[in-house]
């Protein structure tokens, strides 16, 4: 995909695929085997990445909430509108990370669904950046994190449609949590703009601070670090060849990698492929 922009045909392809998939599409339909999938950022020697070990993630079944989801909301002031306004608010509740059930369908067999954390994968070639008419979405050159300038965002939803990972939402309501009870280190969310995971970019990641979801995962299923540093755990996991990325066929070079996906699960129902 060219850096200078996305042509109309490619954009319509993304839009059509996402629309056809629908909001209720099982998470397993997003999975495609990627092999090594370890292309480095071409612009920097610092590329922040995350690995998700599905052999460790149990969906926080022993808790009354998903710990990574709640940690992210608390740290980044992401409003949980559904918790305040009920089930009807689910359709417009923003999220940065969500734990979905990955259901493998095998004729004649009953297989329990497996939890899979889903978030922005911080593509090296992000389609959301290519389609943004105001350049509000951008990839930070120093570390490869994809961010949104809320002051430039006009809420056109182009990026929401273009993202093949359903990682972006629009903020429709103010956070019902009083501002004094929110994280003072992070601004309150603006209404009418796009929002998504930032890898907790407001933290001092260079000094070793971790995204909230990684820091608080009770099973230590999430690992974060510089993939361009061969000595980091993330780099070693990716270099092992045991990781896979979502929708590798699009060649967007995601920077979130998954451990524990079998080839059968990864090849299921390539509805979006």
User: Where in the chain are the domains?
Assistant: 8-266
Mean pLDDT confidence for 251-257: 97
CATH architecture for the domain at 8-266: 2-Layer Sandwich (3.30)
Query: What's the length of the chain?
Result: 273
Q: How many CB atoms neighbour CB 202 within 10 A? A: 14
Report the candidate in 107, 114, 97, 71 with the shortest Cα–Cα distance to residue 203.
71
Q: Per-residue pLDDT tens for 11-43?
A: 444 444 444 443 344 444 444 433 334 333 344
Question: Residues of 167-197 as b/e, b for ≥16 C-beta within 10 angstroms?
Answer: bbbbbeeebebeeeebeeebeebeeebbbbb
Cα 134 from Cα 146, distance rounded (Å): 15
Structure tokens at 243: 């990781």
State the pLDDT confidence band at 150, using cuts at 50, 70 and 90. very high
Cα 221 from Cα 213, distance rounded (Å): 10
Q: Per-residue pLDDT tens for 49-94?
A: 999 999 999 999 889 899 999 999 999 999 999 989 988 888 899 9
Q: Per-residue pLDDT tens for 90-120?
A: 889 999 999 988 766 666 666 677 889 999 9
Cα 154 from Cα 131, distance rounded (Å): 13
pLDDT computed for residue 180 by the predictor: 95
pLDDT computed for residue 7 by the predictor: 52
Mean pLDDT confidence for 160-174: 95
Cα 81 from Cα 118, distance rounded (Å): 19
Mean pLDDT confidence for 203-212: 97
pLDDT computed for residue 263 by the predictor: 52
Question: Residues of 49-85 as b/e, b for ≥16 C-beta within 10 angstroms?
Answer: bbbbbbeebebbeeeeebbbbbbbbbbbbbbbbeeee
Residue with tokens 């995909």: 1
């Amino acid at each position: 995909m060219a850096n200078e922009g996305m042509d109309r045909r490619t954009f319509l392809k993304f839009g059509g695929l996402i629309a056809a998939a629908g909001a209720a599409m099982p998470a397993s339909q997003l999975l495609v085997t990627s092999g090594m999938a370890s292309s480095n950022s071409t612009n920097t020697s610092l590329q922040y990445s995350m690995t998700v070990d599905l052999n460790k993630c149990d969906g926080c079944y022993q808790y009354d909430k998903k710990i990574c989801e709640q940690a992210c909301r608390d740290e980044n002031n992401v409003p949980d509108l559904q918790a305040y306004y009920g089930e009807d608010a689910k359709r417009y509740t923003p999220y940065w990370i969500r734990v979905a059930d990955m259901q493998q369908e095998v004729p004649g067999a009953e297989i329990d669904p497996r939890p899979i954390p889903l978030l922005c994968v911080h593509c090296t070639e992000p389609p959301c950046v290519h389609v943004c008419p105001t350049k509000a979405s951008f990839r930070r050159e120093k570390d490869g994190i994809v961010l949104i300038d809320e002051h430039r965002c006009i809420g056109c939803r182009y990026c929401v449609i273009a993202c093949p990972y359903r990682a972006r939402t629009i903020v429709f309501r103010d956070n019902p949590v009083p501002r004094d009870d929110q994280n003072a280190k992070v601004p309150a969310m603006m209404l009418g703009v796009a929002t998504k995971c930032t890898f907790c970019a407001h933290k001092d990641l260079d000094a070793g601070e971790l995204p909230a979801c990684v820091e608080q995962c009770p099973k230590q299923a999430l690992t974060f670090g510089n993939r361009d540093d061969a000595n980091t755990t993330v780099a070693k996991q990716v270099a092992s060849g045991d990781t896979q990325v979502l929708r590798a066929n699009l060649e967007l070079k995601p920077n979130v990698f998954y451990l524990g996906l079998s080839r059968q699960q990864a090849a299921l129902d390539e509805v979006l492929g």
